[in-house]
Homo-oligomer: A and B are copies of this chain.
Amino acid sequence: MTDTIQVGSYTLKSRLLVGTGKYRDLDETGRAIEASGADVVTMAVRRTNLGQNPNEPNLLDVISPDRYTLLPNTAGCHTAEDAVRTCRLARELLDGHNLVKLEVISKSRTLYPDVVETLSAARTLVDDGFEVMVYTSDDPLIALELEAIGCVAVMPLGAPIGSGLGLQNPYNIREILDNLKVPVIVDAGVGTASDATVAMELGCEGVLMNTAIAEAKDPVKMARAMRLAIESGRLAYEAGRMPRKRYADASSPETGLIE
């Protein structure tokens, strides 16, 4: 597909955004990411093990910043302050690259977005010149507020991170789509290809996923499936689906039959 989406100052060729967690190894990571066709790839920032072997392979060796648009996330941060510090470290790490994925989540097993801390961190980061793609709940009002703050993309969860349950509340996602101007990208919750297609058919600008690909039995093949699922859903959205009908309607003419 030749269509693109504009996220802040970045023009993306693929509507599929992918994570790099949970893979068996960096080799599988690289092959799956390549098969996905994504150009935005998320990564995490973690403390360097001081003792470690200097020749140990690094994520950035397989996912080159020259080839992919890296999207550092703030996964694991439970406060606005930690999220902001993490973003600043990421920006330095990537030589001034200012696109970040903000997520501030609770410590509870749902890993549910903490919308109050998220709003606070978003304000600080936007003031500090970051282009913020923000992970949030499916609360339409919070989504509107995040757009007002200046986030370049709003990314409501489809279902809990890593659950693979598929879109739990299409109503709210549609509501967000009806009210926002910046790109709305479903983040988290997709379990299989059709879940991604459904999100795109609702009119989302894109889908961000990690576990659905990394934990499939064959991640590289699932990455291909997701790439097609996203394109398929977007095309279906643009094509405009047939109306649902309560009763059947013959596909072949009901006249001119032999007797």
Residues of A within 8 A of B (CB): 19, 21-22, 44-47, 49, 73, 75-77, 82, 85-86, 89, 106, 108-116, 119, 137, 139-142, 144, 159-165, 168-169, 171-172, 175, 179, 188, 191-194, 197-198, 201, 210-212, 214-219, 221-222, 224-226, 228-229, 231-233, 235-236, 238-258
Q: Roughly how many angstroms separate A179 CA and B119 CA in the complex, as a whole number? A: 24
Q: With a CB–CB cut-off of 8 A, which chain B residues contact A210?
A: 251
Q: Roughly how many angstroms separate A244 CA and B210 CA in the complex, as a whole number? A: 14
Q: Roughly how many angstroms separate A228 CA and B230 CA in the complex, as a whole number? A: 9
* A239 near B222: Cβ-Cβ < 8 Å: yes
* B112 near A247: Cβ-Cβ < 8 Å: no
* A249 near B193: Cβ-Cβ < 8 Å: no
* B250 near A161: Cβ-Cβ < 8 Å: yes
In the complex, residue of chain B having the shortest beta-carbon distance to the beta carbon of A249: B162
Q: With a CB–CB cut-off of 8 A, which chain B residues contact A250?
A: 21, 75-76, 111, 161-162
Q: With a CB–CB cut-off of 8 A, which chain B residues contact A86?
A: 258
* A236 near B225: Cβ-Cβ < 8 Å: yes
In the complex, residue of chain B having the shortest beta-carbon distance to the beta carbon of A231: B228
Chain copies in complex = 4
In the complex, residue of chain B having the shortest beta-carbon distance to the beta carbon of A238: B221
Contact of A247 among B160, B179, B211 (CB under 8 A): B160
* B89 near A114: Cβ-Cβ < 8 Å: no
Contact of A194 among B191, B221, B225, B236 (CB under 8 A): B236
Contact of A161 among B77, B236, B249 (CB under 8 A): B249
Q: Roughly how many angstroms separate A229 CA and B234 CA in the complex, as a whole number? A: 11
* B141 near A108: Cβ-Cβ < 8 Å: yes
Q: With a CB–CB cut-off of 8 A, which chain B residues contact A201?
A: 192-194
In the complex, residue of chain B having the shortest beta-carbon distance to the beta carbon of A210: B251
Q: With a CB–CB cut-off of 8 A, which chain B residues contact A235?
A: 193, 221-222, 224-225, 228
Q: With a CB–CB cut-off of 8 A, which chain B residues contact A254?
A: 76
- Interface hub of A85, A163, A201 (most chain B Cβ within 10 A): A163
Q: With a CB–CB cut-off of 8 A, which chain B residues contact A251?
A: 19, 21-22, 75, 161-162, 188, 210-211, 214
Q: With a CB–CB cut-off of 8 A, which chain B residues contact A113?
A: 141
Contact of A165 among B19, B193, B239, B244 (CB under 8 A): B244
* A245 near B168: Cβ-Cβ < 8 Å: no
